[in-house]
Amino acid sequence: MSITIKSEREIDIMRKAGEILANVHQKLAKEIQVGMSTYEIDQIGEDLIREYGCIPSFKNYQGYPASICISINDEVVHGIPSQKRIVKEGDIISLDAGVIYKGYHSDAARTVGVGKISQSADKLIKVTRQSFFEGMKKAKAGNYLSDVSNAIGGYAEGMGYGVVRSFVGHGIGTSLHQEPEIPNFVVANRGPLLRKGMTLAIEPMINEGTHKVDVCSNGWTAVTSDMKNSAHYENTVLITDGKPEILTLTEEEKENGFLELF
């Protein structure tokens, strides 16, 4: 399958899908409390998605059993919600979610702290987020995909963190995963030329220690090999001739100046 260029009609639908997912993330993060199970968080997230008239992208996707991927501390991605997994003070929780609106997907992830978190955990979350915005500085038509990857990976590694190599970002549209694959680490090959109208899910996954991960016996959940914390920051992004348009930025993020970070 080739990389798709979206029409104005498709872009308008994806803007709405992104706006809805941003609202879901903003609301869901505020619901998380010490003592909740990850199953409860997933149920709240699914309810929010359906209240907007959307379908959860992840539920039953390739057999994934839930609507939200909820990964805690050393879990990198694809944490499966459970009634037995209870949120604790000081945890950092990665919430990865997608919605389908009028046949088009949006995909975004945020890592949030529960109560008072350690300075190292707070720094990890901030570096992961900033690595995404370093990539955004290069995400425009005429540049190459590797310009984005190298900006993300170079920044995070320069800060002393491990950049996950086992999982990457992806194109997005009428299916959740489309071409191209988008590494978050430094790469040698240029990759495809970025063109106006591409829609990409760009998602650095950054580890406090090694970049290496292991997949648990459930076949889904990836954890850091050294059991140190991991963080995740993802948005659905529209490539333009100038600054990229981040379709899943929350209103709070816009109010806090995130549009000036790239």
CA dist., res. 81 & res. 47, Å (int): 15
- In the numeric block, which tokens belong to residue 65? 């059993």
Residue identified by tokens 């709240």 is: 44
Strand (E) or helix (H) holding 237: strand 235-238
Please indicate if the annotation marks 177 as binding a ligand: yes
- Per-residue CA distances from 110 to 74, 128, 183, 214 (Å): 15, 10, 18, 21
Known binding residue 234? Answer is yes
Q: For the beta carbon of residue 79, count every other beta carbon within 10 angstroms.
A: 27
* 170 annotated as ligand-binding: yes
Q: Which tokens go with 230?
A: 């991991």
DSSP 9-78: HHHHHHHHHHHHHHHHHHHHHHH--TT-BHHHHHHHHHHHHHHTT-EESSTTGGG--SSEEEEETTEEE-
Name the DSSP class of 260.
Answer: G
Residue 42 is assigned to a ligand binding site: no
To the question of whether residue 232 is assigned a binding role by annotation, the answer is no
For 39, residues 6+ apart whose C-beta sits below 8 A from its C-beta are: 81, 82, 83, 85
The amino acid sitting at 187 is: V
Q: Any binding-site annotation on 241?
A: no
Strand partners, 202: 235
Q: Which residues are known binding-site members?
A: 78, 96, 107, 170, 177, 203, 234
Q: Which residues are known binding-site members for a divalent metal cation?
A: 96, 107, 170, 203, 234
Q: Which residues are known binding-site members for substrate?
A: 78, 177
